[in-house]
C-alpha cells in the first residue's frame, strides 16, 4: 500500500486532493494528513473520510522538526504532497513574519525530514520516493501585456510578502533538487476555486456576502485579471505530475479561464439569481447594487495568466472544467453547505473581515 503524507490536508486544496485520491484509488493507498488546524484548516472538510482505515490525521505544525521527523520514522512514506502554507495576500501584508515562518521554515523542515528518511548511505535515495511542492503563479509577479503568459522559465518577481515567502520555499526545493538530487517536483498553479474554500478568498467571499445581502467589496477598479482553475482539475494534475512527471522539473498548472475580478462578481450574482427559486427571499436583494469599490490592495498585481503547455505536452493533463460549469458547481455546493459556511465564518474571521474591508 503506497503511503502519502499530505501537509495542510484540512485546508481548501488539500482536502479536495484527499477526496480526489480516495475517489480514484480507494483502499489501495493510505493517506496521512498533517495539519496544524489554523483558521483555514477545518476537519469538517474531511468528515466523510475520517473513519476510513487507510486515513490518518495528525495534528502537527510543519515547523516542528521533532513532530515531522517522528512521522517519517513511524511510517514508510512514499509520497509527500506539500500544500501547507499561509496563503492569503491580505493577511501577509498585515503580518508577514507568519508567512516566512510557515512557508519558508516549514518547507525546510519538510525537505530535511524527507531527505533524512529516504537517503541511502551512498547518497542516493530509496526507490519510488517522491516529494511534490505545491506553489503559486504569484511568484512570477505581474503581467503587463495581454499576450504574455507565465512559463516555467519566467523569472521570479514576487511583490507581496505572501508571494515572496512562496518564492523562497520554491528556491529551497530547487536547491535540494540541484544540490542533493532530491527526488522532487514543483507545481505552480493559478487561482483555485471550488468546494471547501475559506471565505476570505474572492469567490466564496462574494457568494457568502450575496446570500447574506452584504456589500461586495471590490479592490480598486475591479479589473485585475486572474486565471481560474477548478480545484478537482488541480488535484488530478498533482497526481499526474507525481506519477508521470520528470523528476526535478517544475510544471505550471493553469485553467485557461482568465477573468477580471469584476467579471467574476457579476457572474456570481447572475448565477445565484438563476439558481435560487423565486420563493427564496434572498433572491430579491442579490443585485449589482451590492457591489462596493474599496481602496486597492497594496502591491496589487494586475494580471496573472499561466501557460500550461509543458504539463499538457509531457503528461497529457489539461483543465476539464470550464468556468461557466465550475462556478455553478461551486455556488450549488455553498448553497447546500450553508451550515459549513456559518461554522467557518464565526469568531476571529469576522474580526478580520471587519478590519480588512472597513474602508
**pTM greater than the 0.85 cutoff:** yes
Tens place of pLDDT per residue across the chain (359 aa): 999 999 999 999 999 999 999 999 999 999 999 999 887 888 989 999 999 999 999 999 999 999 999 999 999 999 999 999 999 888 899 999 999 999 999 999 999 999 999 999 999 999 999 999 999 999 999 998 888 999 999 999 999 999 999 999 999 999 999 999 999 999 999 999 999 998 889 999 999 999 999 999 999 999 999 999 999 999 999 999 999 999 999 999 999 899 999 999 999 999 999 999 999 999 999 999 999 999 998 888 899 999 999 999 999 999 999 999 999 999 999 999 998 888 887 766 567 667 766 65
Q: Domain residues of the chain, as ranges?
A: 2-191+231-256+299-320
pLDDT, tens only, 244-267: 999 999 999 999 899 999 999 999
Sign of CA dihedral 239, 244, 247, 248: negative
Output the DSSP codes for 149-212.
Answer: -B-TTSPP---SHHHHHHHHHHHHHHHHHHHH---EEEEEE-EEESTT--TTSHHHHHHHHHHH
| Residues marked as catalytic | 137-138, 162
pLDDT, tens only, 329-354: 999 999 999 988 888 877 665 676 67
Alpha-carbon gap, residue 58 to 31, rounded angstroms: 11
CATH fold for domain 2-191+231-256+299-320: Rossmann fold (3.40.50)
Amino acid at each position: 500500500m503506497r503511503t502519502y503524507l499530505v501537509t495542510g490536508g484540512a485546508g481548501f486544496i488539500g482536502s479536495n486532493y484527499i477526496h480526489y485520491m480516495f475517489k480514484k484509488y480507494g483502499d489501495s493507498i493510505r493517506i496521512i494528513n498533517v495539519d496544524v488546524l489554523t483558521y483555514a484548516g477545518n476537519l469538517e472538510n474531511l468528515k466523510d473520510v475520517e473513519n476510513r482505515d487507510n486515513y490518518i490525521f495528525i495534528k502537527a505544525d510543519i515547523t516542528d522538526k521533532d513532530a515531522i521527523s517522528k512521522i517519517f520514522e513511524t511510517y514508510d512514506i512514499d509520497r509527500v504532497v506539500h500544500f501547507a502554507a499561509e496563503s492569503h495576500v491580505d493577511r501577509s501584508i498585515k503580518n508577514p513574519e507568519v508567512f516566512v515562518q510557515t512557508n519558508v521554515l516549514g518547507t525546510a523542515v519538510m525537505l530535511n525530514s524527507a531527505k533524512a528518511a529516504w537517503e541511502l548511505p551512498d547518497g542516493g535515495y530509496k526507490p519510488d520516493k517522491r516529494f511534490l511542492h505545491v506553489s503559486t503563479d504569484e511568484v512570477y509577479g505581474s503581467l503587463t501585456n495581454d499576450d504574455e503568459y507565465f512559463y516555467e522559465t519566467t523569472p521570479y518577481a514576487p511583490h507581496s510578502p505572501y508571494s515572496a515567502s512562496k518564492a523562497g520555499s520554491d528556491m529551497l526545493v530547487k536547491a535540494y533538487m540541484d544540490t542533493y538530487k532530491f527526488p522532487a517536483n514543483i507545481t505552480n498553479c493559478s487561482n483555485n476555486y471550488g468546494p471547501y474554500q475559506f471565505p476570505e478568498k474572492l469567490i466564496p467571499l462574494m457568494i457568502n456576502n450575496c446570500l447574506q445581502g452584504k456589500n461586495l467589496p471590490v479592490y480598486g477598479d475591479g479589473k485585475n485579471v486572474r486565471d481560474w482553475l477548478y480545484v478537482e482539475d488541480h488535484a488530478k494534475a498533482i497526481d499526474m505530475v507525481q506519477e508521470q512527471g520528470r523528476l526535478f522539473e517544475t510544471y505550471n498548472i493553469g485553467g485557461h479561464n482568465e477573468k477580471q475580478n469584476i467579471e467574476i462578481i457579476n457572474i456570481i450574482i447572475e448565477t445565484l439569481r438563476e439558481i435560487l427559486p423565486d420563493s427564496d427571499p434572498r433572491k430579491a436583494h442579490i443585485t449589482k447594487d451590492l457591489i462596493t469599490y474599496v481602496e486597492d490592495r497594496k502591491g496589487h498585481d494586475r494580471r496573472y495568466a499561466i501557460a500550461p503547455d509543458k504539463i499538457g505536452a509531457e503528461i497529457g493533463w489539461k483543465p476539464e472544467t470550464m468556468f461557466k460549469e465550475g462556478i455553478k458547481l461551486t455556488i450549488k455546493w455553498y448553497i447546500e453547505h450553508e451550515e459549513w459556511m456559518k461554522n467557518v465564518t464565526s469568531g476571529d474571521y469576522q474580526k478580520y473581515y471587519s478590519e480588512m474591508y472597513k474602508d
